[in-house]
Structure 1
Amino acid sequence: MPSETCTQKRKALADITEAEALNKRPRASRKTQINTPEIKRKTERREMTTAQRAIIINEALHEVPLKDICNNPLVNRPKSTVSTFIHRAAAQAGTTPSQFNLRNPDLQGKHSELLSDEFLESKPRSGAPYKFTDDDVAVLINECTKDGVQRRKHPFEVYQEIQNAANSESEHPSANKPPLPPASRSTVDRTMDFNGYDRFFPRYKPALDDDHKKRRLAFAIEHRKKTVKGFWRFVLFTDEMAFTQGKPYHRKKVTRQRGKREEWIPECTTSRNGERGTTIPFAGGIAINMKTKGHVFRPEPKEETKRVQAWMEEENRRRHEEADKQQPNRRKNSAPKYVKLERNHANIKRGVDWYRYEKEALIPLYLPAYKELDDEAKKHGKRAVLMEDGAETHHVRHHDEYHDEYNVVRMGKYADVNYIKEKRRKRYRFDWPPYSPDINPIEHVWEWMKDWIDKMEPHRPKTVEEARNALYAAWDAVPFAIINKFIENIPHILEKIIEHEGGNDYHG
């Protein structure tokens, strides 16, 4: 039967607009903010010129309406700015703004005086002057973003290196050059922030060898002509992630611009996913306008492990006897062939093996959602596809019994040829390239969820139970607009992969 949750979420899509969905994310404090959707640059201060001040005073003296003064192409300033300047000019002339006109006897004969340079010149501003000139800022930014090594240093550390090298005889670019003005750490931080730079955790991009690139390129060429409407909308993307409870992304931050411009450049990414702490496995699946229930894998009790092991031994004994009867013509002293059930204890210790994946994710989450998606695809003369990446927990022969029950078309590793011959029928599978999280849209959903959790208020989850609850909340908060955006971007990513001959060194 179709999943009730999937049906409810699909019906709820009509009531959720993209703007409403995006507004569900909690507001983030500056300390926990990792990504800013847009580059928030502070507006550059624009001083009014002497000519603009003269035009404003002249038109104010002739009682031109404030709106017309602001709309003058030679002025082009906000109403508040023009009004404030007129108030100050009237106070300097010893009158009120309402009396600041040529009908005022006190101002008659002073028209030329009010338009003199002495009256119109800019007064010095209060407060401390700026520490850095534009040239100083350019030197600091260029040095902070020169390469990946410099980006991982704090801007103040780079500033100190520039200062130390300015008076030395080293080969540093700043050697024998005038040092930058003295500044504190907060001043350097404000300068970088003013120019749109901040500190972020580097994004993860796996390292690829020639074989990986070859398989990625072959996959991209094979699927480049498939459209979202004709193919990708009927693919159920499934995966599991390991969320690290504790310090997020246990890696050094990098200096880059806010927004997406420098998020995926090589200097701002890492090929090692160095998170540390207690990992919490989480499973889920997505499709266009659809997502399955989320599931957190909890540690398996020892009693359950012993029970499953005893069941597997009994099941293997039964299968051995059954295969022995069905294969009477095999070679003498040869063991009968059958699918033996075994568990990888290393995977059990990490949290998920093929058995737990089957019992807690594949059967209750993925297959009901696939059945619902497949029924919809058949209405359009298509078949739904279940996407599973190359993890060993996804490709166990025991899973085929359930895949056959739902008549699943899979996207993953190629099928075992010997097993196909043994079963005497064809299994439909698409090959999924290795080390390709950039193609799989659910990987981007995991990143979205991690960012969402990192921005939770009043703080990030501190306990394992809080992290589990946060994962469920983040999964429910993922808007369909975001899911659809990631899936609809697949053709663009495939073109990028073809352009870079299977590599992932493209920006985005």
Structure 2
Amino acid sequence: MPLSPAQVAQAVALVDQGLTQREIATILNVPRSSMQYALKRYRETGSYSRRPGSGGFRCTSVRDDRFILLAVLRNRYLTAVEIRHRLQVTRGVNVSERTVRRRMEEVNLKVHRPARGPSSFLRQHRVARLQFAREHVNWSHEQWAKVLFTDECRFALRTPDDRERVWRRRGERFLSITTTKTVSFNGGSIMVWGGISSDARTELVIVNNRLTAARYIEEVLQEHVFPYSDFKGENHFLLMHDNTRPHVAHCVEEYLHEVGIRKLQWPARSPDLNPIEHIWNMLKRKIKSNSNPPETLDQLRSAAMAAWDSVKQLDIRNIIQSMPERMKALIRARGGNTRY
């Protein structure tokens, strides 16, 4: 453990005061051997600094390091091999992939699994999301409590979540006991619809076939949303649903106008703003953690219904109370993706 010049100077001063090397090492909280080596170097050279190291020279210059850094900042998905090749072609410098990784570590750039966000995220989506956040950033918890957050979700029997890990030795990568078995179409799936608010939730609806606008009115709005509006009262209820085609069809808009259901205008490409997405994740974890995970679609339907009923209303309320923070995070991101 090398001592800094300031520590060496302090050790020399303590030696002049008559302290032993053991006492000095205890005061400076350094190994005794390191302190002894620093004092010996001081007596030989009269300097508090270390001698120049005998290690090899850096194989990249400052300009080479800047080239590597700018290449990564312009395209975060470049691999070390690709950066090495660009450096060789552009600047005529041949280095190893490990050298490229070390240069990235020096500027605190490390490889991570990328976060997921909606596809086709265009400028108009950012503008609409930012405008929505500015309009609702001052909403109180009582105002957000009036909103019924709804959405559809698909549950599959075999859903890879990239969280599974396996213990193995070198050379055991492709053994049958360390290989995850894939299933066509994830073994089948079901589509569900649900709605949550701070005070209550709707029943979970199993969507057996493709959800059209007509089926959305008959099976969802008439059977679940309209009764919920009567329960909450006309002035204490806002419907939130996203901009998928069945939701924005003309017949759906006409039905909502006829029955007097007010709709919260929702920006496109905004799953990070909908708190029900967290409920879907909770349900999927509950289903996967069952001691007897479902093996058929019928069992999956039953498991989804049971998981939906087991969610505590307090957990739902706590998630919805994060809406003001979501609006602030969206403003800070200038309409871009947020951590939610």
TM-score for both structures, normalised by structure 2:
0.57
What is aligned with 2:274? Answer: 441
Distance 1:491 1:361 in 2: 28
From 265, 276, 282, the equivalent of 1:432 is 265
In structure 2, the CA distance between the partners of 1:136 and 1:368, relative to structure 1 (3 Å rule), is: farther
Distance 1:127 1:390 in 2: 61
Q: Is residue 2:33 matched to residue 1:197?
A: no
Task: Give 1:231 shift.
Answer: 1.0
Amino acid at match of 1:489: E
What is aligned with 1:228? Answer: 140
What is aligned with 1:83? Answer: 30
Amino acid at match of 2:323: I
From 141, 152, 155, the equivalent of 2:77 is 152
RMSD of aligned Cα (Å): 5.8
Task: Give 1:353 shift.
Answer: 7.3
In structure 2, the CA distance between the partners of 1:166 and 1:120, relative to structure 1 (3 Å rule), is: same
Distance 1:126 1:237 in 2: 65
SS in 1 for 2:86: helix
How does 1:489-508 map onto structure 2 within 5 Å?
Answer: 489-492=325-328, 504=335
What is aligned with 1:165? Answer: 90
Greater RCO (CA < 8 Å, at least 6 residues apart): 1
SS in 1 for 2:78: coil
Specify the structure having the higher radius of gyration (Cα).
Answer: 1
Amino acid at match of 2:265: W
Amino acid at match of 2:73: T
SS in 2 for 1:162: helix
Could you tell me which runs of 5 or more consecutive residues in structure 1 were left unpaired when the two chains were aligned: 1-45, 71-81, 94-110, 168-178, 250-275, 301-347, 399-412, 421-425
Q: Is the 8 A contact 1:281 1:352 kept in 2?
A: no
From 244, 252, 277, the equivalent of 1:391 is 244
From 6, 19, 22, the equivalent of 1:62 is 19
In structure 2, the CA distance between the partners of 1:370 and 1:188, relative to structure 1 (3 Å rule), is: farther
Amino acid at match of 1:59: L
SS in 2 for 1:160: helix
In structure 2, the CA distance between the partners of 1:136 and 1:87, relative to structure 1 (3 Å rule), is: same
From 137, 142, 147, the equivalent of 2:70 is 142
Q: Is the 8 A contact 2:239 2:262 kept in 1?
A: no
Q: Would you tell me which structure has more helix in proportion to its own residues?
A: 2
Task: Give 1:143 shift.
Answer: 0.7
Q: Is the 8 A contact 1:284 1:291 kept in 2?
A: no
Q: Deviations over 1:227-255 (max 9, x none)?
A: 12341133221112346866669xxxxxx
TM-score for both structures, normalised by structure 1:
0.42
How many pairs does the alignment contain? 298
How does 1:98-497 map onto structure 2 within 5 Å?
Answer: 115-117=43-45, 122=50, 136-146=64-74, 150-167=75-92, 179=93, 182-184=95-97, 186-189=98-101, 191-193=103-105, 195-199=108-112, 200-201=114-115, 203-204=117-118, 206-207=120-121, 223-224=135-136, 226-242=138-154, 278=186, 281-288=191-198, 292=201, 297=206, 300=208, 348=209, 350=210, 355=215, 374=232, 383-394=236-247, 414-415=253-254, 420=258, 427-437=260-270, 440-442=273-275, 445=278, 449=281, 483-484=319-320, 486-492=322-328
Distance 1:59 1:370 in 2: 80
Distance 2:223 2:34 in 1: 75
Distance 2:304 2:45 in 1: 63
Distance 1:232 1:284 in 2: 17
In structure 2, the CA distance between the partners of 1:163 and 1:295, relative to structure 1 (3 Å rule), is: farther
Q: Deviations over 1:458-498 (max 9, x none)?
A: xxx9x99899979969x96996697246412354367679x
Task: Give 1:166 shift.
Answer: 2.3
What is aligned with 1:259? Answer: none
Distance 2:195 2:45 in 1: 70
SS in 2 for 1:489: helix
Amino acid at match of 1:388: H
Q: Is the 8 A contact 1:286 1:483 kept in 2?
A: no
Distance 2:128 2:34 in 1: 71
Task: Give 1:427 shift.
Answer: 1.2
Amino acid at match of 1:55: Q
What is aligned with 2:8? Answer: 53
SS in 1 for 2:88: helix
Identity of aligned residues (%): 17
In structure 2, the CA distance between the partners of 1:124 and 1:352, relative to structure 1 (3 Å rule), is: farther
In structure 2, the CA distance between the partners of 1:231 and 1:165, relative to structure 1 (3 Å rule), is: same
Distance 1:464 1:47 in 2: 64
Task: Give 1:117 shift.
Answer: 3.2
Task: Give 1:142 shift.
Answer: 0.8
Distance 1:48 1:506 in 2: 45
